[in-house]
Amino acid sequence: MYVCVHVTTASVEKSEQVCLQSKNVVLADTTISKVRNNIYDVLVIPGGMKGSNTISECSEFIDMLKEQKANNRLYAAICAAPETVLDRHSLIDDVEAVAYPSFERNFKHIGKGRVCVSKNCITSVGPGSAVEFGLKIVEHLLGRQVALSLASGFLLHPAVTF
């Protein structure tokens, strides 16, 4: 089975260079200001305090997220981002969500499990659930069979489900 997904990484900074919390530098494909009017099948927000706080302060990206939600398109966040981005901007008020456990306390509706799907929102608890999170996004974009096929090559522990 061959499937193609086009992924665009976008920096919320003025430059494509992004300095991560770990001090590693990665190069995004573009900046939010250049793609803010594009329509995407899913917007995915990475976790980590530094990055998710920076994303939360980017009004262009928050506007994109609000439009994504309003148009019933998929949006997803992991680790701290469900709180620092989605909850702070009232994007999970009407859905269940999970996050890194210490970040869930103010949620109106705390979900269950390591990955939570509620309406068009996917959230996940943190780094240890990143593979499950990614596979759940694939499942929603391309179907369960594609996600299962992809997962079979990962040699996941049998207890890992998505």
- Give the domain CATH number at 143: 3.40.50.880
Instruction: Classify residue 28: in a domain, yes or no.
Output: no
Catalytic residue numbers read 79
Q: What is the per-residue pLDDT across 81-123, written as a single tens digit (0 to 9) for each? A: 999 999 999 999 999 999 999 999 999 999 999 999 999 999 9
Q: What is the per-residue pLDDT across 48-87, written as a single tens digit (0 to 9) for each? A: 999 999 999 999 999 999 999 999 999 999 999 999 999 9
How many domains, the chain?
1
Instruction: Classify residue 66: in a domain, yes or no.
Output: yes
Instruction: Classify residue 18: in a domain, yes or no.
Output: no
Chain-centre distance for alpha carbon 97: 12
Q: Decide: 130 and 154 in contact? Cβ < 8 Å.
A: no
Tokens at 100, concatenated = 């890194």
Chain-centre distance for alpha carbon 50: 15
Q: What's the pLDDT at 160?
A: 86
Instruction: Classify residue 21: in a domain, yes or no.
Output: no
**Phi–psi pair at 117, nearest 5 degrees:** -115, 125
Strand partners, 115: 124
Domain that holds residue 80: 39-152
pLDDT for residue 1 is more than 70: no
Q: Is 137 exposed, middle or buried (0-12, 13-18, 19+ CB in 10 A)?
A: buried
Q: What is the per-residue pLDDT across 20-55, written as a single tens digit (0 to 9) for each? A: 888 899 999 999 999 999 999 999 999 999 999 999
Instruction: Classify residue 127: in a domain, yes or no.
Output: yes
